[in-house]
Amino acid sequence: MSGERVAVVGVGQTVHRTARKDVSMAGLVREAAQEALDDAGMTWSDIDAVVLGKAPDMFEGVAMPELYLADALGAVGKPMIRVHTAGSVGGSTAIVAAKLISAGVHERVLTVAYEKQSESNATWGLSVPMPFAAPLVAGAGGFFAPLIRAYMYRSGAPRYIGHLVAVKDRLAALRNPKAHLHIPDIDLKMVEESFLLWDPLRYLDVCPSSDGAMAMVLGSEKVADAAPGPVAWIHGMAMRSEPTMFARRDQVSPQAGKDCAKDVYAQAGVTDPRKDFDTAEVYVPFSWYEPMWLENLGFCAEGDGWKLTESGATGPDGDIPWNMSGGVLSSNPIGASGMVRFGEAAQQVRERAGDYQVELKTGRALGQAYGGGSQFFSMWVVGNKKPA
Amino acid sequence: MRDVAVVSYVCSTTAREAVHNETEMIVPVLHEVVEKSGIPSKEIGFVCSGSLDYLQGGPFAFVAGLDAVGAWPPVRESHVEMDAAWALYEAWVAIQTGEVDSALIYGFGKSSPGDLHEIMALQLDPYYVLPQWPSMVDMAALQACAFLEANGATEKDLAEVAARSQRNARTNPNAVRKGDLTADEVLKQPVTHRPLRDADIFPITDGSAAVVLAAGDLARKVSKRPAWIRGIEHRIEAHSLGVRDLTHSESTRAAGVAAGVANGKVDIAELHAQFSHEELILAEALGLDASNTAINPSGGALAANAIMSAGLARIGEVAQRITNGDADRGVAHATSGPCLQQNMVVVLEGE
Amino acid sequence: MTDVFTAHHVIEYPGGYTRSVGPVIGRFLTGLRDGRIFAVRLADGRVLVPPTEYDPSTSAAVAPDGDHWVEVGPRGTVQSFTWVAKPRPGKHTLDRPFAFALIRPDGADTAMLHVVDCGSADAIRVGSRVAPQWRAERTGSITDIESWLPLGDGEEPAPAPLHVPAEDEQPVTGITVPIRLDYVLTAGVATTRYLKGLGEGKIIGGRAPSSDDVYAASRGTDPKSGEPTSIEVEVRDTGVITTFCVVNVPGLSELAPEIPYVSAQILLDGANNCFFGLIRGCAVEDVHMGQRVKAKWADELLPDHTSIRWFEPSGEPDADYELYKDYL
């Protein structure tokens, strides 16, 4: 990682729900931000800058919400930026915030990502029909389901693999009080019998639509050394983008994802992700994306992702648990989900993940977010030891 | 801190881009700015853009911009839903980390397809203000009224700013509005949004701007006279008009102090004043005096104001004049939000 | 070529945005419903109206209960104003010219933005005294005050009509805000070229001079290089299904057929990118990767997406996986 050392010194998160009718937009972000500040042992006046991230403004019908939220986020009189990189935005927002510190510009940065999509409707927001564009007759899942089919063909994966992930992540969510979906009696049968949406994706293979916010306080080395609680050091961070469509594009395992992983692993000195990480929080909004990202992120050889999933290796008793927070499959406030991944990875290495804490051996975890037509990637590696 | 400079700048604006869509509109601008930079496209380390979905009427509008960049092999890339001046800030930070040595920044948007003045109302307090739909110009007019009342400035002072903008713009190929206007002629125009007249209000503009930044020796290698960024700071104020002092721009003042505006002579200043009274407020906030500093030699935003790139263009206009040897040190300002709620100040200097 | 296609486009979330307001904004709006204007005294002693949830100077949370809540007004003073000569139908409260103003209610230290219905721009100035004109039917919205009216010397403000609470009425927790924006968008050169081609029964693609890759329905550039696809190339209306899904979600679009139906990625002959299309003309279970298909054109060809109704099996032998494996 370039520049000065950076650590996560505070993490906060709202309870994610279908609709947070108890709060306004400001109330929602504040809930996460206040928790992060309390965790960091800081007050609003300690913060140097605020970096806000969220997905399209159409979801809430507020353009450039950082302008309205400046007061709520203690940004008055300070620098404030709002990042928007589609679904990966929660991750890239954290990275922009971290760079302010690694560049030596600031020492304490508050970063927040949110979505209050119940104010409209996520399906509507994602598929506003635009003139001249080909009509979206298949919906959002209709873009990803064909890619899943292609993955199944290439890898020979059996049809039930996705359902295993759907069960695993929702069982994990039962131990996360902040998660949106708590389905106590979820099992393979329930998923298999749920409504078929886009073959092979069934209703329970797909993420919910959630309102929620995530926040972190990032600090410089000096700030981290003086932090009241455990910190998560950033060992590497990277972003990569590629165009939505181009000749011979591999949409199933995009090059931008591979390049991003390669970069972040090189920064962190990771050579064998499966061994070098204790856990990973990876953006899996459709169950099949677990095996697909296992391959794209180099946790196994190409074509073997489904075998890794099937073996239970990514489950709570496995050697590389994935998404023990419940993941995107259990909570998906679109603009926040990327930061939830980054923040949950930090919580794991800080041993602050409560009932879904994994056993730490290497003390390192990966956070990954993606967005657009699988074209925007942001990733970070965090660890509980200072990087070399 | 690393030395970072603007090594090329291109701007292309028009009253109404009726033929090309946004991607087609920015393609020539991006190609030209990269070519002018002297840095091969595939060697530019980072790409960052600024745009607003609501200008294009659909979500993820910025993704179309990527098709003009040639993002293959995959690139380090980011985007802010803000004026591209803030994309430049993000890129400057990325270079400061040492991760990259150069960056391509672009902003784009068409204001003509929708009702821009109404669209910008969506920035406003969602509970107390938006339901009443004050337009962008109504909001500015409220500030103009407060300013004239408190400051003792007159409509003639505003007219002088408006007229000077159009006269300066005569040499700006990107100006949408230019001419030999006098303050008296402005005063003869009807008041459309009391106290503002047409000439006091920016023209609706479509277009884009792009800048390439480079660090240290790379900048010296590719540019005959890099425009070094000596200070870059931004601050935001409280949102509600009713709690702010509308007659002064405190955030501009604070950003200007932090950026070191007063550390030297200011030959030129490009201020992102979308309304004539804003130029007076901003000049005061930055301690600028028209007798020592050429203010808005390009004509400023009253000559062309492509939303989401006009702030970046202010930085480019100062940089270009430094590189050309027309100035040694200058200040660029960019704004976001209603009535100068958020402001950025950049100090640039040639060696 | 300057005759590009344009279209009217509307963004409007049906029914309006349903915004939950939280307890602080809720208390203020409940006050409006009751015909009263409430403010909050902040830590520095300033009386803030309308109350925001967080102190603008310190960011401290404003508690929804407590004796820092004070009633202000009803009279107020104009701090600043402008004149709206052409009200926007369906958006502005009033359909006659009016003033927007920053009004400081008596007892408050800050101003609130609202409407003054004073007839002409000459009838209002900074310092004018005004009083709220309350709607008879109030719901808990900033527009429960329909407008403010000039108040003459010694004149008493008209009291708010009594609000008769509905049975079981609760404090205000939310508002609904309709938002509609209209645009005229242009398709641009490349897309117009493509749509015109559809009107002639052709699928037009483009190629950048420095590449061999042809993009069917190109949006104007070769995305790998950012170079314009200035060379027009017609691609065939036959091709291969590279991958697809069976859609079982009803009602995704007015144009969607009855479920289940197949949405596929199709590599058209002559193109180097995939085209999205519906597949019909065979049982859903018979659709497969590698299947060769041809476009089913509409009887009436128009320069829009209706010209290709769907793709159907062409009966040719399946394409070898090697030919389309890079197009998944």
pLDDT tens per residue, range A11-38: 999 999 999 999 999 999 999 999 999 9
Tell me the pLDDT band of A128, cut-offs 50, 70 and 90.
Answer: confident
Among B50-54, C188-192, C254-258, the minimum mean pLDDT is found in C254-258
| Beta strands C98-105; C76-84: pairing state | antiparallel
- The ipTM of this complex is 0.97
Percent share of chain C, pLDDT over 70: 99
pLDDT at C14: 95
By CA distance, what is B141's nearest residue in C? C82
Which chain A residues have a beta carbon less than 8 Å from that of C29?
A: none
Tell me the pLDDT band of A87, cut-offs 50, 70 and 90.
Answer: confident
DSSP C40: E
Q: What is the rounded average pLDDT of the residues C233-240?
A: 97
Closest Cα to residue B202, out of B124, B331, B342, B299? B299
**Contact call for A103 and B96, based on CB within 8 A:** yes
* Burial (0-12, 13-18, 19+ Cβ within 10 Å), B147: buried
pLDDT at C2: 66
pLDDT averaged over every residue in chain C: 95
Q: What is the CA radius of gyration of chain A?
A: 19
Angle value at C-alpha B236, between B230 and B241, nearest 5 degrees: 140
**Contact call for C114 and B132, based on CB within 8 A:** yes
Instruction: Determine the residue among C5, C11, C20, C24 to mutate to test chain A binding: the one whose Cβ has the most chain A Cβ atoms within 10 Å.
Output: C20
Which chain A residues have a beta carbon less than 8 Å from that of B42?
A: none
pLDDT at B65: 86
* Burial (0-12, 13-18, 19+ Cβ within 10 Å), B152: exposed
- Which residue did the predictor score with more confidence, B151 or C197? C197
Residues in chain B, total? 351
Q: What is the rounded average pLDDT of the residues A198-226?
A: 97
Q: What is the rounded average pLDDT of the residues C296-313?
A: 96
First to last CA, chain A: 10
By CA distance, what is A202's nearest residue in C? C248
Chain B: partners with 3+ C-beta pairs within 8 Å: A, C
Question: Nearest-CA distance from A364 to chain C in Å?
Answer: 34
Q: What is the rounded average pLDDT of the residues B255-280?
A: 98
Give buried/exposed letters for B47-68 (b at 16+ CB in 10 A, else e): bbbbbbbbbbbbbbbbbbbbbb
- Helix, strand, coil percentages in chain B from 3-state DSSP, rounded to 5: 40, 25, 35
Residue C1 has pLDDT above 70, yes or no: no
Chain A: partners with 3+ C-beta pairs within 8 Å: B, C
CB contact at 8 A, A180 and A62? no
Partner-chain residue, chosen from B126, B243, B246, that has the shortest CB–CB distance to C19: B126
Residue C124 has pLDDT above 70, yes or no: yes
Question: Nearest-CA distance from A65 to chain B in Å?
Answer: 7
Instruction: Give me A255's structure tokens.
Output: 């090059």
B79 CB within 8 Å of a chain A CB: yes
By CA distance, what is C326's nearest residue in A? A248
**Contact call for A64 and B71, based on CB within 8 A:** no
HSE-up (13 A, CA, CB side) for residue A291: 32
Strand order in the sheet with C37-41: C47-48, C37-41, C69-72
Partner-chain residue, chosen from B74, B79, B237, that has the shortest CB–CB distance to A85: B79
Q: Looking at the DSSP assignment, which residues form a beta bridge with residue A49?
A: A109
pLDDT digit string (tens) for A275-320?
Answer: 999 999 999 999 999 999 999 999 999 999 999 999 999 999 999 9
pLDDT at A23: 97
Q: What is the rounded average pLDDT of the residues A156-172?
A: 98
What is each CA distance from C281 to C94, C261, C311, C313, C318, in whole angstroms?
A: 56, 11, 8, 7, 16
Q: H helices within A197-278, ranges in order?
A: 221-225, 255-268, 273-276
CA quadruple A308, A310, A315, A319: dihedral sign: negative
CB contact at 8 A, C248 and A199? yes
User: What is the C-alpha to C-alpha distance for residues C160 and C142, in angstroms, rounded to an integer?
Assistant: 14
CB contact at 8 A, C81 and B120? no
Q: What is the rounded average pLDDT of the residues C215-234?
A: 95
Q: What is the rounded average pLDDT of the residues B44-60?
A: 94
Q: What is the rounded average pLDDT of the residues B143-168?
A: 97
User: What is the C-alpha to C-alpha distance for residues B347 and B5, in angstroms, rounded to an integer?
Assistant: 11
Instruction: Determine the residue among A60, A241, A259 to mutate to test chain B binding: the one whose Cβ has the most chain B Cβ atoms within 10 Å.
Output: A241
pLDDT at A127: 81
Residue C45 has pLDDT above 90, yes or no: yes
Tell me the pLDDT band of C221, cut-offs 50, 70 and 90.
Answer: very high
Count chain B–chain C contacts defined by CB atoms under 8 A.
Answer: 182
Partner-chain residue, chosen from A70, A100, A256, that has the shortest CB–CB distance to B93: A100
Residue with tokens 């130029």: B279
User: What is the C-alpha to C-alpha distance for residues A145 and A139, in angstroms, rounded to an integer?
Assistant: 10
Residue B180 has pLDDT above 60, yes or no: yes
Which chain B residues have a beta carbon less than 8 Å from that of A255?
A: 73-74
Closest Cα to residue C290, out of C242, C326, C236? C242
pLDDT at A353: 98
By CA distance, what is B251's nearest residue in A? A77
Q: What is the rounded average pLDDT of the residues C299-312?
A: 96
pTM of the model: 0.98
Residue C54 makes CB contacts below 8 A (sequence gap 6+) with A26, A30, A71, A72, C60, C61, C62
User: What is the C-alpha to C-alpha distance for residues C137 and C154, in angstroms, rounded to an integer?
Assistant: 28
DSSP B342: E
Q: What is the rounded average pLDDT of the residues B60-79?
A: 92
Instruction: Determine the residue among A58, A59, A64, A117 to mutate to test chain B binding: the one whose Cβ has the most chain B Cβ atoms within 10 Å.
Output: A64
Residue B103 has pLDDT above 90, yes or no: yes
pLDDT digit string (tens) for A341-382?
Answer: 999 999 999 999 999 999 999 999 999 999 999 999 999 999
Q: What is the rounded average pLDDT of the residues B219-234?
A: 98
By CA distance, what is C57's nearest residue in A? A76
Residue with tokens 């030699």: B297
Partner-chain residue, chosen from A69, A92, A242, that has the shortest CB–CB distance to B74: A242
Tell me the pLDDT band of A125, cut-offs 50, 70 and 90.
Answer: confident
User: What is the C-alpha to C-alpha distance for residues A358 and A313, in angstroms, rounded to an integer?
Assistant: 13
pLDDT digit string (tens) for A106-119?
Answer: 999 999 999 999 99
CB contact at 8 A, C245 and B88? no
User: What is the C-alpha to C-alpha distance for residues B116 and B119, in angstroms, rounded to an integer?
Assistant: 5
DSSP A307: H
Which chain A residues have a beta carbon less than 8 Å from that of B47?
A: 241
Question: Nearest-CA distance from C280 to chain A in Å?
Answer: 14
Which chain B residues have a beta carbon less than 8 Å from that of A130?
A: 57-58
B19 CB within 8 Å of a chain A CB: no
> DSSP assignment of B262-323, as one string?
GGS---EEE---SBHHHHHHHHHHTT--TTTSEE-TT-GGGT-EETTTHHHHHHHHHHHHHH
A156 CB within 8 Å of a chain C CB: no
Partner-chain residue, chosen from C22, C58, C252, that has the shortest CB–CB distance to A139: C252
Partner-chain residue, chosen from B66, B78, B130, that has the shortest CB–CB distance to A92: B78
pLDDT digit string (tens) for B7-21?
Answer: 999 999 999 999 999
Please state the separation of Cα A63 from the chain's center in Å. 23
